[in-house]
Amino acid sequence: MLILSHYQTEIILQARKEGKTNVTTSTDLGLHLSNIRLANNACLLPGDIALPWSVLEHINENENSCFIIEHGEAHPIRVESQISGRIYTLMPTEKAPTMLISGIPMHRIKDTNPYRDTLEKIRTLTPVRGKVLDTATGLGYTAIEAAKTAQLVITIEIDPAVIEIARHNPWSHALFNNPHIQQIIGDSFDEIEHFDPESFDCIVHDPPTIQLAGDLFSSAYYKQAYRILKRNGRMFHYIADPDSKIGQRLSGGITQRLHQAGFTRIIPKPKAFGIVAYK
């Protein structure tokens, strides 16, 4: 797949303006570099795929979309959910892309990027070993990072449309070819009941907002999380910016419900915008 965003087209168009005939940039959103040849009517991508300059300019004008290149045309990586009706869009950043859910980024992108955001969450659970549950797959970054050290990562995603976006994201490839990652399509609230007691060493709980998935912030869900964790197991729970009004408002209620579920020690992790609950 050839995937471009405005980060790459800016480089190509600037090289054309300077009269260059070749330029080096990425055709997979920054993972690798390729040589691009610049001709009068088009730029020539790897595989001698000619992309007209008008198409490059169109991509360059759309800063919130990544585009897959097929047959000399550019198509935004965008899917409408058959479950919720929401529009999911792959949005570029300077590093790993994020996903817009009806225009709202699913990762932190202010003063950080989705890859660094993921690393901060995983670091709260170091060492990540044994069996890990990722309660909301998204683009798969959490599962991919956890699988670098864990024996098995089970990751749950409620919406097949999200997985379709991930399949077109070069940064998500390991989600589909790493044998240490097992995917489940289903509602995390229901699926968590199917796991055996004390079967996970760690849980990464990074749900959608409470407005979109309130049941994943409920006492019933936290009790199931406690049940499936091994003794001394840990759960990272993303909340929000601890200095924000919503973060402060949510934190107290979440902490109270986690204590009620049985978690005895809860440690704030402000750099990761969350907390870690210990069994």
Q: What is the phi/psi pair of residue 106, to 5°?
A: -85, -10
User: Are residues 123 and 242 located together in one domain of the fold?
Assistant: yes
Q: What is the mean pLDDT of the chain?
A: 95
3-state secondary structure of 6: helix
Asked whether the beta carbons of 20 and 13 are under 8 A apart, the reply is: no
Per-residue model confidence (pLDDT) at position 107:
85
What is the average per-residue pLDDT within 203-220? 89
Are 113 and 243 found together in one domain?
yes
How far is it, in rounded angstroms, from Cα 85 to Cα 170? 25
Looking at residue 74, what is its pLDDT? 96
pLDDT of 166 above 80: yes
Reported confidence tier of residue 105, pLDDT bands at 50, 70, 90: confident
Residue 210 has pLDDT above 90, yes or no: no
Q: Within 13 A of 167's CA, how many CA atoms are on the CB side?
A: 8
- Does the structure show a pLDDT above 80 at 212? no
Q: Single out the residue in 27, 56, 76 at which a domain terminates.
A: 76
Q: Name which residue leads in pLDDT, 169 or 106.
A: 169
**Residue 66 lies in domain:** 3-76
Q: What is the pLDDT of residues 44-60, one digit of tens each?
A: 999 889 999 999 999 99
Q: Write down the pLDDT at residue 78.
A: 97
Identify the burial level of 108 via C-beta atoms within 10 angstroms of its C-beta, where 0-12 means exposed, 13-18 middle and 19 or more buried: buried
CATH number of residue 160's parent domain: 3.40.50.150
Backbone angles phi, psi at 49, to 5 degrees: -85, 120
Do residues 52 and 122 both lie within one domain? no
Amino acid letter, 224: Q
The reported pLDDT for the residue numbered 231 is: 96
In a domain, 200, yes or no: yes
pLDDT for the residue numbered 106: 85
More confident call, 212 vs 34? 34
Higher pLDDT, 17 or 72: 17
pLDDT score for 241: 83
Q: Is residue 10 included in any domain, yes or no? A: yes
| Whether residue 215 sits in one domain with residue 171 | yes
Do both 49 and 112 map to the same domain?
no
